Chains A and B, each alone.
Chain A
Amino acid sequence: MRMSKAMSSHNGSLLSVRNLLVEYTTEGQVIHAVNGVSFDLERGKTLGLVGETGAGKTSIAKAILRILPDPPAKIRSGEIYLDGQDLLKMSESAMRQVRGRKVSMIFQDPMTALNPIMRVGDQIAEVIRLHNRVTGRQAAQRATQMLEMVGIPGERYGEYPHQFSGGMRQRVVIAMALACSPELLLADEPTTALDVTIQAQVLEMISRLKRDFGTSMIMISHNLGVVADVCDDLAVVYAGQIVELGRKEAIFDRPTHPYTLGLFGAVPHLYEDADRLKPIKGLPPDPSNLPTGCHFHPRCPRATDQCRNERIALREVEAGHLCRCIQATSVEG
């Protein structure tokens, strides 16, 4: 992943997002959900978007697929290049060809992502028929294969979502997302609703499928452990901005932004002892009334007047490792 200063359109990456700005307007209030997000995703790689509730992670993913509810949401500006083509300039009918075929999404809650009165096999076959010239029987065959690939016996093709457990429903959603071998998979908290042992099964399966199909992926999660497991690159999102961006190893070994550091200090470890956790003080900001300057400054232990008043840009602290903090010093690799 690179972030070239020149912001040339796509520099060979599969996906390039540039200065994405998303707002929601409700009752005259403007909610600044995504405030100038830029990143690149190379082919075959996985980028993790981490952050807390309301940070704008899901809005970024939905903007890529152009499935934000409008109104109230509006993409104010930005470019989203997929294979060099700006998705935001495409017609709706062209976009429909992209969704499901080139880019697909796994949603957090498998129960609401599935149609409760349609057989699960048919739901997978529907995607296949939409995007390929195949007969009903061929689509059903392919759907059965997809079910088996995610570890569900083909005999269960004719069952309904309520007959499946949470883990199996999420597998169906994944099978649906992968049915047309998309180039880019957007996974929005795909394991958050699942128990740990089932989460381990699903993560293992996602990694395997990614390897086998060479799919690129954006993995949205609030769980640092999950992104540590599956991602190559990481973007830490706070108040609609990327505050730290880099290779996973760089960020886990040498976190530099105070918010990232705060996140690491706030979670209990599985093998390390701490008498007390170090919570980040205060609360995430109200997105309709963002603080001036650095959005994190009211909670930051190191905030200065400059942080309170000036807009802070992302800058490089080491090769390929960017941080939105004026106090972050360069780190030795």
Chain B
Amino acid sequence: MPALVEARHLRKYFETPRGLLHAVDDVSFSIERGKTMGLVGESGCGKSTLGRVVIHLLDSTGGSVYFEGEDVTHVDGRKLRKLREDMKIIFQDPYSSLNPRMTVEQTIMEPLIICGRFTRKERQEEADRLMAMVGIDQRLRLCYPHELDGGRRQRVGIARALALNPKFIVCDEPVSALDVSIQAQILNLLQDLQDELGLTYMFITHDLSVARHISDEICVMYLGQFVEKSPAKELFKHPLHPYTQALISAVPSIDIHQKRERVILEGEITSPINPRPGCRFARRCKYECKPCHQPQQLEEILPNHFVACCRVREINCQ
């Protein structure tokens, strides 16, 4: 059976006054049914753009997207509408992604109205079912978003995404705006829904602990490209790319006794406008050398563990 979602050499460029911004540049991956792919990286690395291109919220500049084995890169009309039912997104900010003038119930019912297949009564039943599924109390159905706290708002966003029974959901930083105690509630809910409904997730986050917790596989993104791709636990056991190593070591740990060696990166992430060929991390990398300025390919270094770094073997043998 083919992977549920697959991207091949996907690219998305934006025109800016300063040149062409390579937000997503030649990215390939596939996600099996029922699995979660975590996408991590710092702000501006292209994570959200990639998520939006995959589900057709943005048109791609090049490359292709496959859904259930079918090339859906250029679908339109009825086919696109069907695809939109299968692929949904949950946004980061539950404050700005809900219409402030629509009640909880209206928000959840809107997709059901748009698809046009339900009678009024069926819509009501379906909305009740969805609210129960995500744990929103019935008495809140006539509330407006401003009357709800962040966690409940995010539940409404999830219920809206679940309407029409999608197969694939892009979760774009769904817990970043929430307090830790609420964050855990939402993460558990997403996991339960996945088990129950067999959902497939692309989970975008900048929080590495969250990514490790929820993902089966993790892709690390830097300036529009994947630098490392690995099974989740394996990535933290053996981070191989210098950027991944720095990223993981930068996470403040709550283990106060384990002294970890911290790699402090120089400089900051720039934007990939008219980038030169070669490794985009090279400018901040302490292992930078001449071959780094040639284009880099993801290479399988350990089983299912891919790294785009020409010096990966010598760096990790030291």
Chain A: residues with CB nearer than 8 A to chain B?
52-53, 165, 167-168, 195-201, 203-204, 222-226, 228-229, 248-249, 252-253, 262-271, 273-274, 276-280, 283-284
Contact of A197 among B179, B233, B265 (CB under 8 A): B265
Residues in A neighbouring B179, C-beta threshold 8 A: 52-53, 222, 284
A selection of 6 A-B contacts at a CB cut-off of 8 Å is A195-B43, A196-B208, A200-B264, A228-B256, A276-B188, A277-B187
Q: Is the CB of A228 within 8 A of B185?
A: no
**Contact A248–B256 (Cβ < 8 Å):** yes
- In the bound complex, do residue A279 and residue B256 qualify as a contact, i.e. CB atoms below 8 Å apart? no
Query: Taking beta carbons and an 8 Å cutoff, which residues of B are in contact with A?
Result: 42-43, 149, 151, 179-185, 187-188, 191, 206, 208-210, 212-214, 233, 236, 246-256, 262, 264-265, 268-269
* Residue on B nearest A167 in the bound complex, by CB: B268
Output the least CB separation between B208 and chain A (Å).
7
Is A280 a contact partner of B265 (Cβ separation < 8 A)? Answer: no
Q: Given A195-B42, A276-B191, A279-B182, are A269 and B254 neighbors across the interface (CB < 8 Å)?
A: yes
Known interface pairs A195-B43, A224-B254, A268-B210; 7 further A-B residue pairs with C-beta atoms within 8 A, sorted by A's residue number: A167-B268, A195-B42, A226-B252, A264-B254, A270-B209, A274-B213, A284-B181
Given contacts A199-B252, A225-B251, contact A267 B184 (CB under 8 A): yes
A-B interface contact total, Cβ < 8 Å: 117
In the bound complex, do residue A52 and residue B181 qualify as a contact, i.e. CB atoms below 8 Å apart?
Answer: yes
Q: A267-B184, A277-B213, A278-B184 in contact; A197/B247 too (CB < 8 A)?
A: yes
| Smallest beta-carbon distance B76→chain A, Å | 37
Shortest beta-carbon distance from B199 to chain A in Å: 17
Per DSSP, chain A at the interface is: helix
A165 touches B268 (CB 8 A): yes
- Identify the closest chain A residue to B210 (Cβ): A268
CA separation between A277 and B191, bound complex, in Å?
10
Q: Cβ of A197 and Cβ of B254 under 8 Å apart?
A: no
Candidates A270, A274, A278; contact of B253 at CB < 8 Å: A270
CB of A267 within 8 A of CB of B255, answer no
Determine the distance from Cα of A270 to Cα of B212 in the docked complex, in whole angstroms. 7
Q: Give 10 closest A-B pairs by Cβ, nearest first.
A: A225-B252, A279-B184, A268-B213, A200-B250, A277-B184, A195-B42, A266-B184, A280-B181, A52-B179, A279-B185
Distance in angstroms between the alpha carbons of A229 and B42 in the assembled complex: 21
Q: Is A225 in contact with B180, judged by CB distance below 8 angstroms?
A: no
Do A268 and B254 have beta carbons less than 8 Å apart?
no
Chain B residues lying within 8 Å of A278, measured Cβ to Cβ, are: 184
Cβ of B214: which chain A residues have Cβ within 8 Å of it?
A: 268
Closest chain-B Cβ to A45's Cβ sits at a distance in Å of 16
- Give every chain A residue within 8 A of B254 (Cβ-Cβ): 224-225, 228, 252, 264, 267, 269
In contact, A225 and B187 (Cβ under 8 angstroms): no
Q: Which residue of B lies closest to A151 (CB)?
A: B266
Which B-chain residue is minimally distant from A198 (CB atoms)?
B268
Known pairs A196-B251, A199-B252, A229-B252; A267 contacts B180 (CB<8 A): yes
| CB-nearest residue of chain B to A275 | B191
A252 contacts which of B236, B256, B264 (Cβ < 8 Å)?
Answer: B256
Alpha-carbon gap, A280 to B264, bound state (A): 34
What is the distance, in angstroms, from A278's C-beta to the closest C-beta of chain B? 7
Which B residues lie within 8 Å of A248 (CB)?
256
- Partner among A267, A271, A277 whose Cβ is within 8 Å of the Cβ of B188: A277
CA distance A51 to B206 in the complex (A): 21
B206, A196: Cβ atoms closer than 8 Å: yes
Query: Within the complex, what minimum Cβ distance (angstroms) separates B279 from chain A?
Result: 16
Q: Please state if A228 and B268 are interface contacts (CB–CB under 8 Å).
A: no
Indicate which residue in B181, B206, B264 contacts A195 across the interface (CB closer than 8 Å): B206
Chain B residue nearest to A269 (CB atoms) is B209
